[in-house]
Structure 1
Amino acid sequence: MKKTKAVVIILSDETHLHDDVAHFLQAKGHEVVVEPDHFGDSLAREGCKIILIAYQNLLEGIERYSQLVADFGLDRNPHYSIVLSISKDVGKACELCINQTVDNYFIVKPLYDMHRLALLVKQAFDAVAHSEQQLALTYIGEELLEHKKALDSFIIDNVDKGVECQTDTVDAFSAALNELANLIAGHSGRNLILDHQKIAEQTRELSDRKLEQISAWAKTVKEEYNELSRLQIPTVSGNQKNIALINGDAEYSASVKQILTDTGFNPMLFESAKEALPAMICQRPDLVLLDYETSGLDVLKVLAYMQKFNQLTDIPVILLTAHRDKEILTRCLKAGARDFIVKPADRDTFREKISKLLSDMTAPVS
């Protein structure tokens, strides 16, 4: 495989500071351009761009370099800049590097260290390749942002397909991002393509393919999860705090409902989490009482689902459980539950726990 060479642009005041450097780089097979009339064509070619600033007066050289950057939009195109400095100006050259005005410097008088120059060219290649990769990732990120907007709309429009459908949709998009990240990082064994238009097309094809797969999958489960229109969504109250109770035991639900009503709350009853989660997205409660034994889904999964949706993330959850197992309670608290009530519990316990959490939610942040 033919090794890629650099395109070296030399900005010079014709004091011949660059002569030995130019000869060395030409001998190494790099393209060296000194004539200003040829700068534009050279910068338009593919390959690593290295800018050498060979001026006796460093400030004059930096002004010329800044003009070149402005004329050819080099601030938006990866390149590597090196000041060719005589020994007495090393301090100034170093300061320019520290201030990130240029990338590096090379001492040309009284001694030409060609070994260091070879190292600088290698560093330039690596730096430009890294910058091009970052630029490509930024470009792709902008493309992905557009696709994510479309995906967010898909999730919202298809809430009737149920929580599991939405979660798998998010997971599928995450897999698409991972696949793309691996491609860019080179982990998939494919070389990074630096043609931005081609990258955008590939990204669009990948995202479109994932969206098609997601849509096709969603249609297969539509009948199972298309129950939103048939859900009996409890009415929320504008004057009272709305407390959702997720519990499949009708007798226990009735007793808790009475406690909530007597203590001034508006109860919203659900027999299962599959019924409650999409309904709560439509009618957001102030707090959730989640029964560990009869939620209809694994409690940790329910808590994870609530963390995924912006509409549900901040709703405090109190776990209702007959378990006193510390490990079980700890797992639930780590998964998002804010507190727990051990069954059976009296009216005062419910009132105290609910009131405290609601008060914490409305307290001003110090």
Structure 2
Amino acid sequence: MNKSFTSDAKILIASDITSDAKLVKRLLDSEFDNVFVSPDPDKAVADFDQHRPDVLVLAFKELGKSERHCLKLYRHGNTANFHPHRSIVLCNQEEILRAYKLCREDIFDDYVLFWPMTKDAPRLPMAVYLALREMSMCKANSPTTAEFATEARRLSTLGNLLNQQLTLGEEYVESIGRAVAQADLVASAAFNDFSQRLARNELPNVLEIKNADGFQKEVGHLKHEAIEVPGNSLMNSVKPLKQWAGELREATAPHLKSINALNTMATSIPSMLLVVDDDEFQHNILNEILKKENYQVQFATNGIEALNVLRKTRPELILMDVVMPGVNGIEVVKKIKSIERFADIPILMLTGKSERTVIMESLKAGACDIIVKPFVRDALLAKLNHTLKKA
């Protein structure tokens, strides 16, 4: 691999044994320029925040310690939650199946059989290379199809709004024209009626007409100046508005057509949802319901998994269980909402409790609605659709 590819990459080795951290560092120093160690668990968050690594190597002798280390980073620090990085956990032969499961569940990104040191020493630097390659591809790639579809759907909403406003504007222009014409007719009729009553001397106490021809001439002149000229001026002032509305409609027509076509393509791409729930039975139920409705679904069983998923992809909506082991769902929502680039992702809470305190705490944390378990399929889908349209 090209050396320039890794020249700026940062690797942080976390361990609770200084000699182990230094051992791993010596192995990686020959391949990478910026390798740092974090041997003090009390400084784990500070070390991560300081170095902001591209790859975190967890060099603990026990997987449980690696899990607790990551939990501490995500629970007590903000950098680990939003800084793009990959995690590699070192394990022993007895824990290799568990390491595989933890990586499959997105707790870690990769594992290396390392304790005791195997003959395959290059396996660790190779795993780091692969992690950096993946990071580089993610940075270089264009937006994902799902992200593009999300923006296309939002653009379609804007197109519909523009079309509605154009129609409303045209209706306003037409109503103004009708109002001006009606006002002209009413004023002319009232003026004619008044002048005719005067001409017939029906208002002797108001005015006596001595020269009928001269009166009619003056009345005609006054009508022209006071009613017809201003009326024509108002009608002429409406014409440019009408012409502008028509030209705007014509100019935007091809763009609105393109937006509609783009939306048609976007609707064929499933919206991506993240379900955070520790109950596998709930996973199966939601997976069956949501996939039939053309949703793409990712699952996490706890807050750490959820934050790991968010580091790599961006769902359009999150379904979050309230009661989970470790950090509860309300705390995970607070963490997600505290990170600027995730703050606008709508979150629906899944809970078996409908107590007012649970509802209020969930909404206060940043959730936009509550779904009480066991949920009704149609009600669930209705809330999903409503929330996605508002997003």
Q: TM-score range by the shorter chain?
A: 0.3 to 0.5
TM-score scaled by structure 2? 0.37
Query: TM-score, structure 1 length as denominator?
Result: 0.39
- Structure with larger RCO (C-alpha < 8 A, sep 6+): 2
Which has the larger helix fraction? 2
